[in-house]
Structure 1
Amino acid sequence: MSPVLTLFGIFLISSIAKRSSADIPECKYRETIDISRYKKLNDTYVYEGLEIPANLTGEYSFRELSDGSKVSANKHLRACICKDRPCIRICCAHKDILANGECSDGLKKEISLRMLNLTFDDIIQTDPNITELRKMPQYNSTKMIVLREHFQPCDEVLGLKTNEYTMLKDGSILLHPTAEMLSNDQYCLFPQTYSDFPEILWVVNRMCVTRYIPATFGISIISLVCFILTMAVYLYVKKLRNLLGKCLISCLFCLFLEYLIWTLNKINLLYMVCTLVAYSRYFLSMASNLWFAVISYYLRKLFTSLNRHEPRNAFLKYSAFVWISAAIPTGVIYIMNQIWGEDPQKRYLTPLVGFVGCVMQNWGSAYWIFINGPILILTTFSSIMFILTAIHIWRVKREVKRFAKQNERTRPFLDIDIQTYLQFLRLFVIMGVSWLLDKITSLVEDFHYLLGTIIIDISVYLNSGFGIIIFVLLILKASTLELLMNR
């Protein structure tokens, strides 16, 4: 055997051994915490007064996502801390997550002041048809390990009374009304649980998990570049700075900021301004959809009217309409969060900010009243304007072809159709009709249909690459390239 193959074999075996040594026996990943910043003393690690032996620690070079998949990460030390004491998972709003992963809502101090007592029960299986519950010792808040969890999309908040649940020794919760068992990693407690305990225990049930769709981050980066190039061309070429061009630039600027915020948040650079980012994203999202509606209205009017004169101060009027219309619901949401933002009983009526990522919540009635509903109405309006405009263009072109003389200067029938279809495609995109697919998939996901299917993936990829689509359809066409070369 050659020395190269020998070295390769040694490297492979050592890598496998190193990876296998990272696993902690009989301990799930979600039962571990990162203790890299804690020092080792006498073969143990001390975490909040709890001594963790070295045999319950291991080095990990990956992180496990909520859907069970693994992503590579810097090597770090994790400890299994739920062996000696019961662990309680309490959700942490994304706006309260620090850069080091800790939660800054001060909840542990609140727990220690209230001295919360929970009675853990144990299941005794006497025979296959009988299950008994045995009372275990009570644990107060000073003896429990509190694990902080992130809110996830599709979370369902349940308000359970004392006779509607039983907490088991392993941290699972038995729901009496439905006889459903929620394991330790299927739920977390709402941060404001302790304001109503023991009358009501607010439990966040993991109805679904976040699925990572590959390559979306890279596509979004390319979209950002394409947004910049598209806006640069429209600002550089004077003939493109007409009323339609100004509206397009404003719309693309809102989309660019949305994509930029999403990208920066993806690489964890917006922890300190998460709440501000959430309000900004909502405002920009409403503004971009309003600009699509304005563009649709203007194009419908432009194609059906014989008067090509642009109204004076039209852009100022459109701008005032868009920015004011987007600012009003943003202000209403801000006021509602200041009044009811910490009340779990108002969770479906108040569009909570910064709980699931640096965005508005995506569950409950408030989601449809303030977010999905208005955007769906605007997208439907744009779709109607597109259909009416397309019908008008098709009729005009059909009449032109009917009366046109068939001579050498007339373009072939197929060539005319291709140009018409390309024109329809451009109108479809700049009128914002393509976002209707996103709203439909959101509606379908709310009812837990098509989850994890290729239809959802296609919608995500189209949204991530919207900047690329805009650049190809508006800039990489003959007329725009000719104007750019002449300029």
Structure 2
Amino acid sequence: MFNAFNLKSQLLSVLLWLLLPFFMNVRPLAAATPTYPCPYAQTVNISDGLRLKDGSYSYAGLLIPANMTAQYNFKVIDGILSSAPSHTRGCACLQRPCITFCCPPGQLFDEYKHACLPHASTLSAQQQSAQYTHIEVSDVNGGLKVVNISDMFVMRFEAGCSRKYIDKSDASFWKWDLYANGSLSSLGRIWDTDQYCLTPLEHKKVWSLVPLTCERSAHGFRLWIYAICLFMAILIYGFILLTLVSIKAVRNGGYGESLIFHLASTIIGLSALTYLAFRSRLELSETACRNIGFIAYVFLIFSFFLLTIISWNFWYNFKTRRLSSWKRKLIYMFAFGLAVGLRFLLKFIQDSDIYQPLKPGIGDAFCWFDVRLWGILLYFYVPILICLAFGMLLYLKTYLLIWNLPEDVINVAGYDIKLIKAHFFAFFGYLLGVTCVWLRELFVYLTFRWRGQYYIIDFITGVCVFGLSVAGLIFLLYKNPLVRAWWHVNVTFYLPYRAEERTENGVYLTQIYHTDQERTDKLKEGYKHEIKEEDLALK
């Protein structure tokens, strides 16, 4: 007899066994991750500032408290983290508005090489220095006033993005307005401090200060591989979903119904991640960024809950019990409610004063989890690992039940034994693939954390998800007897090149559909309405 306490104990043992090798090599949370007191966009490199005895910094006429500084070993380009030499950054932009320059004094942005180089001979050092002294600022009434930059702003020298939009022939490119809060109006929109950088450019033999924006920056090949693989996976999952929905015998059964919900949830979650891959954090409002990230989280977590429900349903059936449809739907509602509850828990943690490394980071510097923090491990990978471990444990228990079944059993909980066993073993192949992919994700995350490296988009993840969708095509469609039988009756019969002989498993397919030659002839002639539904699907 199944014992809930024993199941929990075994599940805990499995989790500890899986996680022990990782945690033996991972430093404590407090020591592994520094505290970042404010978003990266509001920080300035203050390594050249004067550090005082109490840990605070004197920089650009400001006194930055010690609790508003942190050590950074990365930089943000195109909204993506990349490695950088360790340096100190402070939240100077919280004390005084910041404006961003592409290059530090003594260097000039080269529009062809897209890099900062020593100033050109046509622009003297004195002329270039003047570009960083005064600037025109627009007031609320539309008037302009010339101000000393150092008196009104803190100067940031950041690249911002790898490729910047430069079009000297566009008259609107040279028209811009800087406001007192550091934001800038150009090309028909308002840009925040971290969305532009100012640099001198020559136009009609006159050097002018102009902002370069990241509006039309190019995406790297890794991002394209990641996005294309996710998009292809979504298409494959969509094909599987539409096929299962088209077959009444599948969508009315517990196994098929759960698969349909799982596939739909997976498609929504992957679609949200694909959208975020092409939209920089700078291009979305804080509300939109956070909501899309939470949508991806809710539906991806729900999809893993459904995998566990399917595993549990197999175990329940082989205990010679059958779950009624309304009870099954209550379980779906509870699982979805739990996923939504986790979403609100994440929002509460994100907005609370909890220790920064324990926050998820969704909607802050990134629209998805911030991999610099431990939130993605605690609130995403661990729930997934629990679901998969629980599902695999139920699979082992179900397999033992199948092993101990008498050989003369032909029916289990009202289902044909051959059919339910075919579903069971096919689903295990898919579940095993899901487990391998997400264990790989967890291993990569912990490995990068141990090395002190960070990544946002791992293009191999896209390749793995695409491979998983192909596995779903094989195990959820091709290995499903009901799908093959439906295809055999509704598609294969009408192919002009079909041979008269049945396929190798034609006898088994005929048993499933309870069709004899007379009914087959009627199907060919189009008299499907004369065949009762129970003749076309298992009860």
TM-score (norm 2): 0.46
Q: CA offset at residue 333 of structure 1?
A: 1.7
CA deviations over 1:125-174 (Å, ceiling 9, x no partner): xxxxxxxxxxxxxx888473332659xxxxxxxxxxxxxxxxxxxxxxxx
- Give the whole-Å Cα distance in 2 for the aligned partners of 1:47 and 1:244: 57
Query: Which residue number in structure 1 is paired with residue 376 of structure 2?
Result: 367
**Counterparts of 1:154-169 in structure 2 under 5 Å?**
none
- What letter matches 1:463 in structure 2? V
CA deviations over 1:430-466 (Å, ceiling 9, x no partner): 48544552454246425537999xxx98766333332
- Give the whole-Å Cα distance in 2 for the aligned partners of 1:478 and 1:283: 28
Query: Which residue number in structure 2 is paired with residue 221 of structure 1?
Result: 231
Q: CA offset at residue 335 of structure 1?
A: 2.4
CA deviations over 1:337-367 (Å, ceiling 9, x no partner): 3344xxxx83113222134542122344443
Q: Confirm whether residue 301 of structure 1 aligns to residue 316 of structure 2.
A: yes
CA deviations over 1:162-189 (Å, ceiling 9, x no partner): xxxxxxxxxxxxxxxxxxxxxxxxxxxx
**Counterparts of 1:8-19 in structure 2 under 5 Å?**
none
**Counterparts of 1:50-65 in structure 2 under 5 Å?**
56-60=109-113
CA contact (8 A) 1:426 1:474 kept: yes
Q: Confirm whether residue 445 of structure 1 aligns to residue 447 of structure 2.
A: yes
Q: CA offset at residue 275 of structure 1?
A: 1.4
1:145 alignment partner, SS class: strand
Residue of structure 2 aligned with 1:330, choices 343, 367, 370: 343
CA deviations over 1:370-410 (Å, ceiling 9, x no partner): 222222212211121122223433555xx749x9xxxxxxx
Q: Which structure 1 segments of 5+ residues have no match?
A: 1-29, 34-45, 61-76, 86-112, 117-138, 151-189, 191-209, 404-415
2:331 alignment partner, SS class: helix
CA contact (8 A) 2:108 2:118 kept: no
CA contact (8 A) 2:230 2:462 kept: no
Query: Which residue number in structure 2 is paired with residue 464 of structure 1?
Result: 466
CA contact (8 A) 1:220 1:263 kept: yes
CA contact (8 A) 1:351 1:370 kept: yes
The aligned length equals 297
The structure with more radius of gyration = 2
CA deviations over 1:218-264 (Å, ceiling 9, x no partner): 33222111111111111110000112211111111111112112222
- Give the whole-Å Cα distance in 2 for the aligned partners of 1:317 and 1:475: 26
Query: Which residue number in structure 2 is paired with residue 278 of structure 1?
Result: 293
CA deviations over 1:23-55 (Å, ceiling 9, x no partner): xxxxxxx9999xxxxxxxxxxxx9869999997
2:358 alignment partner, SS class: coil
- What letter matches 1:360 in structure 2? F
1:448 alignment partner, SS class: helix
- What letter matches 2:382 in structure 1? G
- Give the whole-Å Cα distance in 1 for the aligned partners of 2:102 and 2:441: 49
Q: 1:275 to 1:475 in 2, by over 3 A?
A: same
- Give the whole-Å Cα distance in 2 for the aligned partners of 1:254 and 1:478: 20
**Counterparts of 1:103-122 in structure 2 under 5 Å?**
none
2:324 alignment partner, SS class: coil
Query: Which residue number in structure 2 is paired with residue 243 of structure 1?
Result: 254
- Give the whole-Å Cα distance in 2 for the aligned partners of 1:377 and 1:289: 9
TM-score (norm 1): 0.50
Query: Which residue number in structure 2 is paired with residue 105 of structure 1?
Result: none
Q: 1:482 to 1:268 in 2, by over 3 A?
A: same
Q: 1:348 to 1:261 in 2, by over 3 A?
A: same
CA deviations over 1:308-357 (Å, ceiling 9, x no partner): x44140232112211111111211221233344xxxx8311322213454
**Counterparts of 1:29-108 in structure 2 under 5 Å?**
56-60=109-113, 79-80=116-117
- Give the whole-Å Cα distance in 2 for the aligned partners of 1:213 and 1:486: 43
1:352 alignment partner, SS class: coil
Deviates more, 1:380-389 or 1:265-274: 265-274
Q: CA offset at residue 297 of structure 1?
A: 0.8
- Give the whole-Å Cα distance in 2 for the aligned partners of 1:55 and 1:459: 38
- Give the whole-Å Cα distance in 2 for the aligned partners of 1:275 and 1:239: 40
Q: Confirm whether residue 234 of structure 1 aligns to residue 244 of structure 2.
A: yes
Query: Which residue number in structure 2 is paired with residue 315 of structure 1?
Result: 328
- What letter matches 2:450 in structure 1? H
Query: Which residue number in structure 1 is paired with residue 307 of structure 2?
Result: 292
- Give the whole-Å Cα distance in 2 for the aligned partners of 1:373 and 1:32: 29
- Give the whole-Å Cα distance in 1 for the aligned partners of 2:366 and 2:374: 19
Alignment RMSD (CA, Å): 4.7
Q: 1:371 to 1:347 in 2, by over 3 A?
A: same
Query: Which residue number in structure 2 is paired with residue 358 of structure 1?
Result: 367
CA contact (8 A) 2:226 2:460 kept: no
Query: Which residue number in structure 2 is paired with residue 266 of structure 1?
Result: 277
1:429 alignment partner, SS class: helix
Query: Which residue number in structure 2 is paired with residue 99 of structure 1?
Result: none
